[in-house]
Amino acid sequence: MTDPLPWPAPSASGPVDAVVTVPGSKSLTNRWLVLAALAEGTSTLRRPLRSRDSERMVDALRALGVEVDDRDDQAWFVTPPVALHGDVDVDCGQAGTVMRFVPPVAALAAGPVRFDGHPTARLRPVGPVLEALRGLGADVEDGGRGTLPYTVDGRGGLRGGTVEIDASASSQFVSALLLAGARFEQGLLLRHTGASLPSLPHVEMTLQVLEQVGVRVHRPDQHSWRVEPGPVAAFDVVVEPDLSSAAPFLALAAVTGGTVTVRDWPTTTTQPGDGLRRILQGMGATTSLSPEGLLVQGAGDGRLTGVDLDLSAVGELTPVVAALATLADGPSRLRGIAHLRGHETDRLAALVTEIGRLGGRARETDDGLVVEPTGLSGALLRTYHDHRMAMFAAVVGAVVPGVEIEDVTTADKTFPDFHLAWAGAVATGRDAGDDRP
């Protein structure tokens, strides 16, 4: 198969004025799917995300015997089997949430569950989850690698109990065990022993969804969680829009000095994407939340101030924040994100390389990036099979003429047809009579 042609990033010749609807949250959709598979009875997910990551999760659960009726985009109905099936294969694709959240579920199935995924996914860390499952009584074979491929040899149930884990490489290790913990015979007492725990809002998200399905979780201290054994109640939920998928659109308002409204912004949420409001304000934009959604108004001429930010809680936003930093008129330091080296690609290395391709100045630090302002010019930007690198390139390309994006449809991991929605939003920033693509 030949590579698709690079996509000329649409450029805005003036301030945009767009109203955007973004798809459902990846993190919430995949958490709800896992909980529905463990629940008693049929659950309903309204406005779920249908994208590569959630399709991989649906396929994984179907392989385990879960019935997922996803014919209606507005409502999916999920019914667990009497007993989860083993002797099946699971393709994780590139989804961290599948490669980490499904093994604890597989430990409850009867028979081997074999996991593999995209070549890039084979580089991502999962070892601490697999080791923890062994400590809780599961039989797991990973050739000692701590990465895909691996097999969880389910015995129809798991003892559970107490286990320690170093989750400094990914908060998903903690979420994975907490999500299934109530279904372990003894429940779970989990303690994180690592020096840091990234993406804390995603752990809060896990605790919140568990509370909504009647699972009781206590926190003996900041880094310990006790999940009581018990049933998971079936549920009917509306999935929030994905606020991290909204990030490039809000950034578009900031870089063009225009306005963008993202519809249905939740008034309270555990999604880290909500943190972009504070970040954009720090860079000079204004934001306001109304019943219509979140509105971002960029400063005149799209001027952006450089920033010094600890992004450890909101690491997922880094590529979009790095795009803003690249376009800012002062230096920026992005800290607390060493774990991004284990995301879809090594995002710190990828961002430094791609900013360099634009003629920009960026360097890696131990735990992040330093970006300094300089003149930028168009270039063909690579995306490394990473949806958020495509979003980085799109934001820069909106104001730097001549940017082309390799494999822009890689954004489909979490945002189907991102490039079409993007082109529509950027087009609102064109002068009348401007016929550039």
Ligand X SMILES: O=C(O)C1=C[C@@H](OP(=O)(O)O)[C@@H](O)[C@H](O)C1
Ligand Y SMILES: C=C(OP(=O)(O)O)C(=O)O
Min. distance of Cβ 192 from ligand X in angstroms? Answer: 12
Say which of 55, 240, 316, 344 is annotated catalytic. 316
The residue number with the shortest CB distance to ligand Y is 96
> Which one of ligand X, ligand Y, none interacts with residue 202, CB within 5 to 8 A by kind?
ligand X
Residue 316 within binding range of ligand Y, rule CB under 6 A: yes
> Which one of ligand X, ligand Y, none interacts with residue 388, CB within 5 to 8 A by kind?
ligand Y
Residue 343 within binding range of ligand Y, rule CB under 6 A: yes
Residue number, 318 or 428, with CB nearest to ligand Y: 318
> Which one of ligand X, ligand Y, none interacts with residue 171, CB within 5 to 8 A by kind?
ligand X
Min. distance of Cβ 131 from ligand Y in angstroms? Answer: 19
* 339 labeled part of a ligand binding site: no
Residue 388 within binding range of ligand Y, rule CB under 6 A: yes
Residue 321 within binding range of ligand Y, rule CB under 6 A: no
Size of the site for ligand Y (CB under 6 A): 8
* 31 labeled part of a ligand binding site: yes
> Which one of ligand Y, ligand X, none interacts with residue 95, CB within 5 to 8 A by kind?
ligand Y
* 343 labeled part of a ligand binding site: yes
Taking CB under 6 A as the binding criterion, the range among 88-96, 149-157, 174-182, 271-279 that sits at the site for ligand Y is 88-96
- The site for ligand X (CB under 6 A) is made up of 27, 96-97, 170-172, 175, 198-199, 202, 315-316, 339
Is residue 316 part of the annotated active site? The answer reads yes
In terms of residues, how long is the chain? 437
Residues identified as active-site: 316
Which residues are annotated as part of the binding site for 3-phosphoshikimate? 26-27, 31, 170-172, 199, 316, 343
